[in-house]
Amino acid sequence: MFDSSPIPEIDVQQLAMRLAESSQSLQLIDVRERNEVTFAYIEGFEVFPLSEFEQWSEEILLRLNPEAETIVICHHGMRSAQLCQWLKMRGFNNVQNVMGGIDAYSRLVDPTIRRY
């Protein structure tokens, strides 16, 4: 059954505050391609490229805590929304998609992160 409830979102300013507070309690996932991560990266995010989903989908369910706050990012917010939906369907209760992705983060929070 497909869960049609909206994906909770976090804006990039909220993300910056959460990262400054305590990233230890956060599960941070970046679903961009590895070559994208070489251009722009936010420290602390684990890279799980969506194109490699078949390779890591079972592992991620074993490694991550479904009760922990999980924040997912991509370039603009579309791919990360897909993973958020998938995680929600597997019992992750506290998943948030980063609105605007790393592109918005580089524009509005940290201009040292390269845009592409």
Which residue among 74, 84, 87, 95 is the active-site one? 74
Residue linked to tokens 């040292």: 112
The beta strand positions in the chain, using DSSP E, are 9-10, 26-30, 46-47, 69-73, 95-98
Residue linked to tokens 């305590």: 22
For 106, residues 6+ apart whose C-beta sits below 8 A from its C-beta are 40, 113, 114, 115
Active site includes 74? yes
| First-last CA distance in the chain | 36
CA distances from 89 to 62, 79, 80, 83 (A): 15, 16, 14, 10
Catalytic residues, which ones?
74
